[in-house]
Structure 1
């Protein structure tokens, strides 16, 4: 880790040179997201972060919510993920697949080859005992049961009770009751009760008689036998047993009703939407999980006296990483400024008013976690302590206030500020996490130290240090694509109009916002950006808000090198260090292989085993793909110490695994990857194209690294021999690049993953040096179509740019910036009001992939040349860019007008030969480290 930190900061040693080259980002106009109203929902709120502490700013005038995260707060704890003895099933699974018995292979793999879940050994017995206990208490099913003290809840709900206030993260047994008034003509006959889908199990009673029970998420339609209903009021009681995640009554395709058997629900009695409920037991045994979930920490609420507000504005300035709220009330202008400081490791909220003595509010700390308390630390500090329900981690946060004028009072519940002229709140948070196998940290001591460190600092000093630190990253790059007619509109309105009116400055804002999010969620010394970067507000977030490694974690870091944020790659490089260690255990237990392997998901505890379902969880190329980005980091940095001591040993370990793992295909004689899958598509197979592309890339890069370092010639020779035996890319009957060994692609298939395009982007297995394969890849892209979820669209932007189809790439880019919040209420891929990418729901990889895609249109360096404007779309006919990076250790500034290059500057950061290409013009020169070279539009050196 020390070497990685020194590497990151050594690269930042160029910051002074780079800032001079790129110019101050403050010179870029309009680098703000802004709105005329407070956030109504989480994806309206504005993100701030310092790589470890993140917050979402809602900006309400009467009550402001600041929802915050601390990067190390996860469920679970240190454990082994690999399943010992799984290797003995490897060959039987392979043989079933070779015999064409995919369902049998998947069944065997699901039973014996998947990784270990948490609490797997004890859960069956514990859950049976708990279920017996709660299901035997049926008093609430009785018609005469007194439920007058019960609260009400509205059902059906799209996600059950997951997002209903007070129900977040609730697991256990919950009773629901309602009544229906039955007329005489509906008695004496069988009736149907339709209560839609139930998550997870139900015991459903009518007038205290059990009429049905199921233990799946299918729709519930139960028969009420003739004679059970009587004229007048009848009672329906449902005991919902929710073991994990979403619970309650969810969607229903037909009416939520009781109706005569054989008739339509419309002919029956519609059920009321308001149900009475009682939480019977909220402590079921910990549900077995393959992976842990990233967790929200808590919320700060600032409560103000109610006033009539005018001239409200909320913004996020990404040039200096500060957010603001301003408004007027009673002739006074109120301002709040928010930042997340890396130097001081606190979130700061600074409140001012145009009239002295006008700031009065209460500040509270609350958390969704059941096990939390607040307490007074001193006369200026409130603390919150929490314990993860399903895990070993504890969290501590301190909220400290400094003020000018007025009075401050602190209780165990809140901080009260009265008649102050200024007030600044500093929020510190930490957990007992140290690393993936050590949770012995002291969160309280960390918070105490951080608050003590700022106790004698002015807010101005804290802000100055924050901005200076942030801009050493941000100011290394700038881009100007011109201004459109929508430039002065609020961001939410701009999104709606982007598809109708040219707005090139919005493209600039979006790309720089991607850089802002990476700086905010991935800093040296911290963990890497998750599926949601640093930000998450749910106890059961989508896909666990973890690290999905069949594209999503990798996409998070696509813009890091090219957009001059190489130091922000350090957390990515650091997680690879950890995964190499745990991946060795998985390689041995599941494959009997040397080296290391990673499948398609990991988390804070660095599990590397196959997880979820065998039809997509057994995918062996995650580690090799991570190694591709280690090599990319070397190509951009040209740092041989990094290559020798970090990248190459880990690349070699991954290659050692595949030398052992690849198996001879009985049909073709080629070496193939088996078992595996083409990510999340087509089930468990042998020989998916993507695997072979990644493995060839790994071997090729290992061979080159061994030559650079002058080591491991024998191993490199082994890789050369093996490389030539791997099944090649194949063109199928439709002229398409085959996704699998068999020619079975469907031209109507529009699956979101385009995995066999890996060799086009981000890999180099297919280039314009292999035009036949490139044309086949293009044909596959045409068949797969232009729709998709957020990250999928972002991938397609990069692929079409790599294919030099600039207008097609930009068309996909426009889709990426389309509104995800649509009037029908059904979300789609695009962006939310705060420019977060919509999968949907929110995933941050689309933001990062989109920013990288714009860079790919403007510069490519994956071959021998640095190609300028290789896929320039006609919509971006003029612009200038400063600080964009190319492989080989070069940084470029260039300008274009009317779609034509005007001038170029090249900074050589490491020396070496530079090959430039623009259309049919080329030039080459030997460069000196630290020297800048200038060229005309026809690449003549000036």
Structure 2
């Protein structure tokens, strides 16, 4: 009787709490039904699950981070090398379409075009007699990383909680009821994998096992094993060959363990059976009540670092899907805060140290043939996944990507040599768990050769945030290898004499002047990436005091790179030729890489280029695919235009299908390309951070792009800036910073740009900043003056007044600044 009273109290309390404290919850009053994009995601970096919250037929869709099709393989096309000279001549002669046809033969892989991230299966729970239910409620609590479903049938309250335990590496589901001995259901696996075998063991374990799929001529050699163990309080269990039935239990806990034989990208000899059993046995020894707080503590170690308050209105009283539907027409600032933290939640859940990087869909996929294979598209999408990592205080979660880049720097050596006759390493626009670096999907997309260069810069960014020279020493060979590829691959323009890439392309876009071909020489984005790779390698070598001769070579070659161009419409040119179409609405605006995530274009240093980038943004328009709108939030933040950045947030936070010809957001707040791509979630979280704090342009800039709707009052805590600085807290009122508390982890000059005057609250010496920042982690590279079309009309540069301060700090010092 005591148990009954306790459970009833918990159920009533949970409903009340959920209805009144929804700040960090996605919640709904209807089940997901059969729609995967309505289900709620959980994950621990190794296992992912989508919890449907259905009443009679619950579905837990499962993923494991190393379960991919195929096996170790390479996909280079060695025919490229002998055709490079011919291809380069065709492009320089303006015959891009002919060059593209040749590239399809000699550059694009004749083997695998990349392997697929696979779904592990679904755990189904069928409940007889639960069709007529009341008081339905389900939620994802992103403060605790736990889903909950609750409802009533015939006066009995039922509750389910599901979590993906970080310390225990398993998924755990706990079912309870307000009346003893009233839980009855049948559990079984379903799977799309053709080589899967499903069995039961010992009457309380469901298993699924098999070998991964063959794909595009690559044999599936990865073995996997999943085990679900059911523990009951009260009642009984019975089993068939493939299912387990629970009768009249009071509470049930289901432990789900999945493992594969994957050791690394070149070794699949691990023991999946031992791994799955080991994770399971350690977890089963604990009750749900023991696992739950340990899971929450491990998760909150990351999540609780950042808190954001943009204000609250009564819109929070509505379910998440209704808030999404209404967001464009109501004042709901807390919905932006929820979406912001949801992005951080997704990164914590899909990218953990020692695991695989977040794919195009994070760690969640329910399709045997997912869109774009749910792999790594490295001409924007994978990089965007990790934009929030450093700045939103999740630096450790950058590690899976950084490790992948290090592995690509090994596999990419052969690609650089065999395909392009170059030293160093490179990768094209796509890769997978086997670290393939060949060109895939056709020359229009796949001939892009800068995946390695762009990815290598993530290691440099990681260093800029922590200043750890030991890490830099491990990253330097990767940076050097990326730079060395460009040293060997760049060629001289026949008339301009600049050094540039050929063949090259601006990702996935083709101007009409090129007969619909994407191929060209020396596109703006590539020139910007090469500049950054050379610059970061130079600085890393100088910090580590090595490779002086190589540094001299890089400096000389960097001086010969093509400058950026401002075209006849006042736009930043995408190509060397002035052929941009003001009516081009293409989702890729790759040449604005120099604005963000790079920092070559600045409102304070390169005003003409900054205005040209703005014109390009206006030409391209706002509505686009989900990830593109996410990138645009960052760009408009770098434009220092908070209201326009907020408009892009409104566009992105629109139900999918509403934006004509564009993306949006699904009911579970997944980003829609459409279909689902997680990069838009991460991109928007990064963009919101950039609206509130930037640190790439020589200083920590507080409130650089605060929109009108947030100006009244707000606060954020825990953001990280370059140089080892942490914004312990920042508060604002009426668009002005009223208090900022900044901690210096490693010391050095702290330069702060603010929209209003501040003073020291703790006796720290402030001085007005002049000249270059003396902090070596804030060095800003000087770029060439742009080439400006004679037809261009350049708008005047108008900037709001700001205040720039320097504060000398020591390691561990905390600086407090308040309104003057």
TM-score w.r.t. length of structure 2: 0.89
Aligned partners of 1:821, 1:457: CA distance in 2, in Å? 45
Q: Displacement, 1:376?
A: 2.1
Aligned partners of 1:68, 1:740: CA distance in 2, in Å? 44
Q: 2:751 aligns with which of 908, 915, 922?
A: 915
Q: 2:632 aligns with which of 793, 796, 812?
A: 796
Name 1:325's counterpart in structure 2: 149
Q: Displacement, 1:443?
A: 1.2
Q: Displacement, 1:827?
A: 8.2
Q: Spell out, residue by residue over 1:364-394, the C-alpha distance to the aligned partner (whole angstroms, 9 max, x if none).
A: 1110112222112223211111333312222
Q: Does 1:452 align with 2:281?
A: yes
Name 1:80's counterpart in structure 2: 74
Aligned partners of 1:612, 1:907: CA distance in 2, in Å? 47
- Give the 4+ runs in structure 1 shifted more than 4 A: none
Look up the SS of the partner of 1:681 in the other structure: coil
Aligned partners of 1:612, 1:376: CA distance in 2, in Å? 42
Is the 8 Å Cα contact of residues 80 and 116 (structure 1) preserved in structure 2? no
Is the 8 Å Cα contact of residues 393 and 719 (structure 2) preserved in structure 1? yes
Is the 8 Å Cα contact of residues 642 and 691 (structure 2) preserved in structure 1? yes
Q: Displacement, 1:904?
A: 0.4
Aligned partners of 2:681, 2:818: CA distance in 1, in Å? 33
Q: Does 1:383 align with 2:207?
A: yes
Aligned partners of 1:776, 1:904: CA distance in 2, in Å? 33
Is the 8 Å Cα contact of residues 60 and 122 (structure 2) preserved in structure 1? yes
Name 1:334's counterpart in structure 2: 158
Q: Displacement, 1:630?
A: 1.2
Q: Does 1:806 align with 2:642?
A: yes
Aligned partners of 1:480, 1:873: CA distance in 2, in Å? 14
Name 1:432's counterpart in structure 2: 261
Is the 8 Å Cα contact of residues 743 and 814 (structure 2) preserved in structure 1? yes
Name 1:749's counterpart in structure 2: 584
Q: 1:404 aligns with which of 233, 251, 263?
A: 233
Q: Displacement, 1:821?
A: 4.5
Aligned partners of 1:886, 1:937: CA distance in 2, in Å? 21
Aligned partners of 1:775, 1:828: CA distance in 2, in Å? 26
**Structure with the higher strand share, 1 or 2:** 1
Name 1:294's counterpart in structure 2: 117
Name 1:852's counterpart in structure 2: 686
Name 1:39's counterpart in structure 2: 32
Aligned partners of 1:581, 1:863: CA distance in 2, in Å? 32
Q: 1:606 aligns with which of 429, 435, 438?
A: 435
Q: Does 1:103 align with 2:87?
A: no
Q: Displacement, 1:86?
A: 2.4
Look up the SS of the partner of 2:48 in the other structure: strand
Q: Displacement, 1:29?
A: 6.0
Aligned partners of 2:165, 2:657: CA distance in 1, in Å? 31
Q: Does 1:66 align with 2:60?
A: yes
Q: Displacement, 1:466?
A: 0.8
Q: Does 1:363 align with 2:190?
A: no
Q: 1:373 aligns with which of 188, 194, 197?
A: 197
Aligned partners of 1:99, 1:65: CA distance in 2, in Å? 58
Name 2:127's counterpart in structure 1: 304
Name 1:534's counterpart in structure 2: 363
Q: Displacement, 1:28?
A: 9.1
Name 2:796's counterpart in structure 1: none
> For the pair shown, which has the larger CA radius of gyration, 1 or 2?
1
Is the 8 Å Cα contact of residues 398 and 451 (structure 1) preserved in structure 2? yes
Name 1:778's counterpart in structure 2: 614
Q: Spell out, residue by residue over 1:276-322, the C-alpha distance to the aligned partner (whole angstroms, 9 max, x if none).
A: xxxxxxxxxxxxxx111111110000011223210000100000100
Aligned partners of 1:709, 1:28: CA distance in 2, in Å? 51
Q: Does 1:863 align with 2:745?
A: no
Superposed, 1:216-295 pairs within 5 Å as: 290-295=113-118
Change (3 A) 1:29 1:496: closer
Aligned partners of 1:409, 1:861: CA distance in 2, in Å? 60
Is the 8 Å Cα contact of residues 74 and 437 (structure 2) preserved in structure 1? no
Is the 8 Å Cα contact of residues 748 and 810 (structure 2) preserved in structure 1? yes
Aligned partners of 1:671, 1:28: CA distance in 2, in Å? 59
Aligned partners of 1:515, 1:782: CA distance in 2, in Å? 29
Name 1:344's counterpart in structure 2: 168
Q: Spell out, residue by residue over 1:131-189, the C-alpha distance to the aligned partner (whole angstroms, 9 max, x if none).
A: xxxxxxxxxxxxxxxxxxxxxxxxxxxxxxxxxxxxxxxxxxxxxxxxxxxxxxxxxxx
Aligned partners of 1:495, 1:835: CA distance in 2, in Å? 8
Q: Displacement, 1:571?
A: 0.3
Is the 8 Å Cα contact of residues 623 and 662 (structure 2) preserved in structure 1? no
Name 2:524's counterpart in structure 1: 689
Superposed, 1:562-581 pairs within 5 Å as: 562-581=391-410
Name 2:818's counterpart in structure 1: 936
